[in-house]
Amino acid sequence: MKKVKSEMTIHELGRVACEYLHGNWRSVLDENKEELIRLFPEYEDATYGMYLDKLIPPLWKEFQRCGFTTAEEKKEGDFVIADCLHFSNSLEKAKWGTPQHEIRVFWIVVKNERSEKIGTLLFELSHSHLKFDLPAAPQFFVFEGTERRSIVERIRELREG
């Protein structure tokens, strides 16, 4: 993983995140696939959270080590995956895919060590609702906005054109 530094911009963090995903998503999937396939009938979509709980933490811990945090405060009852993906900060639309290839987009508003919001990481997960399957590699995108409404608009632009 490229070295993370506390003065990085959201674009630089995004490049690190993309490089990390590119180098790790498949190996983490391969190492855990049998177990996740076995768990899917019982846990359904939550199985993807189990996968992400194995994939994302090394990246997120490195960001935290350099003073980066999520701007979202964890509230009681929040469902948070990998310590940074708040389920309430995600969108999934039926028209974005098919049951075999659904797409959910999470967003993480990132704060630096001075508690300044520096932008948003968008995380896209392609997945199946019929069986445990990732039909495409997960992806990170960068968005400079930090307000919920503008983030949702940006996600819709990316997904709907």
Structural domain count of the chain = 1
How many other C-beta atoms lie within 10 A of the C-beta of residue 18? 16
pLDDT tens track of the chain, all 161 residues?
678 999 999 999 999 999 999 999 999 999 999 999 999 999 999 999 999 999 999 999 999 999 999 998 887 888 999 999 999 999 987 677 778 889 999 999 999 999 999 999 999 999 999 999 999 999 999 999 999 999 999 999 988 87
pTM across the whole model: 0.94
| Residue 1 resides in a domain | no
Per-residue b/e over 113-132, b at no fewer than 16 CB within 10 Å?
A: eeeeebbbbbbbbbbbeeeb
What pLDDT, on a 0 to 100 scale, did the predictor assign at position 78? Answer: 85
Which structural domain, as residue segments, surrounds residue 57? 10-160
- Euclidean distance between CA atoms 38 and 44, whole angstroms: 10
| Residue 3 resides in a domain | no
